[in-house]
Structure 1
């Protein structure tokens, strides 16, 4: 909190498990928290609802709402519940259906998110990157064009760039205002091309990110992702962000220093997941501040970011790097 008593304003970008993990840590701190969530998902339950109702995909928003919720664990579990038996409902999560129903009732996806936020008593605010459905495309290294977020990782070839349609998609005015007023913007962790990139591909969001005075932090992924960032180094992740934003914009990068193989109990380089290589010399040419800390943990047999450790570091960074009023 600044000397004026105002809460520090933190905006996090992305979607899926990565953003949800980050938010579970950040919501424990006394800050003004906003999540800007991708609406490029077209697979699974979200894809089916896209086809049937012509709304932005609810899946990533659902996960973020659950992560920020402050309700009884059973209520959150119900919101995340995925049907597995009925042919009509199989694969759908209850939260996706509730967001779809609320969109149909209110006539507006952003309004539906706002109403579900009240129901789940979330700590913070959730804003879609665009209040309409968008389609993500990828141009692969060999020139192949792949259409659809869920299809991009399947090809297993290096991605040259991603772009969206319609290219003139607009965010909510509130989203731009929130970014411009922020003290800290956080990108990642999460799928580089299919979760993080779609948020900054929206022109007005990209312009606000580049223009605002907030400090900007990238939380490096723990491992590379098959079909998206196979064997990418830390600097290659950042370089891809710069290429899509049009210019350098990251002030600091937080990288993992824990031994992923040791955490997973496997022999070094014995197979995937492959840990992201911290090529610090290259990275230091791209960003002013590079921090390496043990921020990984194992949950359910998979390696993931430790929400508390990442959030605690971000709070320390705010105190040291963001000027108070």
Structure 2
């Protein structure tokens, strides 16, 4: 039997599903490990009322790897209008995930595996833990905040982040389930990003057994560096600054390879009112990356659309596959 290369993607937000979708039809075994620290929008409301892991990032990952028809996926993604007071803002998929979790006695991991089967997923989707997590941040001014949406809205420079279980009555430590750790340890390639450094990527790595596994795995760890900085959080950051933050949180240089976009972003193209979380293109510090032991792959990974700057999914996926076959085959 031919061994399919195993890629594990870790993150959340909008960047993760984009790359997942690009990998779906490739000859690889894809696993998405998805953050459960989101507390905004529909996810946050359901989390508070149903006491369930926030489903939004999981929903988007399911859609990215599903082989259902476009119509079926549109229904799953449909979000009720704000005029529908009772269901305002909720995506149907969020309600389905929450309902299945309740049917499974609160076991979100089992619920997502059941839904993966129903939605004809090519690959695997694992919530990073089976309980809701709260993201905490300490800012450079010494103040602290709890909650992803609060931290993002503060637009302040973050010193460090950590996670705590949301239902922390017994002060236990959050831990990933065995399948998550096994996937990381068995992978040929671990991919972090693209996504918010402090609120999409680090919440997963701050779970002790996840961070430990990512540092110990024999897989190549690839970081897809953001194209634009995030207002308040990574203002004036270089690509090396992003990696420095990741390494400092795990207390070792664990990033092997960094994908860096070097295609300039036209100054007059970005609509900063529409994309109000971003501020400027990420600066380059290739020597800084090399000093941390990183292999640097710099290329044109830029895709301009809707007056915003995004990663070109196909180019990123092609580079990930090049790395995979170049390193392991």
Relative to the length of structure 1, the TM-score reads 0.94
Q: Is the counterpart of residue 71 in structure 1 residue 76 in structure 2?
A: no
**Which residue of structure 1 lines up, in the alignment, with residue 223 of structure 2?**
218
Q: Indicate which of 76, 79, 82 corresponds to 1:82.
A: 79
Given that 1:257 and 1:292 are in contact with CA atoms closer than 8 Å, whether structure 2 keeps it comes out as yes
Given that 1:16 and 1:64 are in contact with CA atoms closer than 8 Å, whether structure 2 keeps it comes out as no
**Which residue of structure 1 lines up, in the alignment, with residue 42 of structure 2?**
45
CA 1:262–1:30: 2 relative to 1, 3 Å: farther
Tell me, in whole angstroms, the C-alpha distance in 1 between the residues paired with 2:54 and 2:303: 30
CA 1:296–1:263: 2 relative to 1, 3 Å: farther
Q: Is the counterpart of residue 282 in structure 1 residue 288 in structure 2?
A: yes
Q: How does 1:125-140 map to 2 (within 5 A)?
A: 125-140=124-139
Given that 1:263 and 1:298 are in contact with CA atoms closer than 8 Å, whether structure 2 keeps it comes out as no
Bigger relative CO (Cα 8 Å, ≥ 6 apart): 1
Q: Is the counterpart of residue 304 in structure 1 residue 280 in structure 2?
A: no
Query: What is the Cα-based RMSD across aligned positions, in Å?
Result: 1.6
Q: Is the counterpart of residue 188 in structure 1 residue 185 in structure 2?
A: no
Q: Is the counterpart of residue 62 in structure 1 residue 68 in structure 2?
A: no
Classify the secondary structure of the residue corresponding to 2:47: helix
The alpha-carbon deviation at position 5 of structure 1 amounts to: 1.5
Q: Indicate which of 11, 15, 18 corresponds to 2:15.
A: 18
Structure 1 residue ranges without an equivalent (≥5)? none
Classify the secondary structure of the residue corresponding to 2:148: coil
The alpha-carbon deviation at position 263 of structure 1 amounts to: 8.7
Q: Deviations over 1:182-204 (max 9, x none)?
A: 11000010000000001111111
Runs of 4+ in 1 over 4 A off after TM superposition: none
Relative to the length of structure 2, the TM-score reads 0.93
The alpha-carbon deviation at position 228 of structure 1 amounts to: 1.6
* Count of aligned pairs: 316
Given that 1:253 and 1:287 are in contact with CA atoms closer than 8 Å, whether structure 2 keeps it comes out as no
Q: Deviations over 1:249-279 (max 9, x none)?
A: 011101001111269379xxxx964111111
Q: Is the counterpart of residue 251 in structure 1 residue 256 in structure 2?
A: yes
**Which residue of structure 1 lines up, in the alignment, with residue 3 of structure 2?**
6
Tell me, in whole angstroms, the C-alpha distance in 1 between the residues paired with 2:217 and 2:207: 16
**Which residue of structure 2 lines up, in the alignment, with residue 291 of structure 1?**
297
Tell me, in whole angstroms, the C-alpha distance in 1 between the residues paired with 2:57 and 2:232: 20
The alpha-carbon deviation at position 280 of structure 1 amounts to: 1.0
Given that 1:263 and 1:303 are in contact with CA atoms closer than 8 Å, whether structure 2 keeps it comes out as no
Q: Deviations over 1:43-86 (max 9, x none)?
A: 11111111111111101111111111111111111111111121
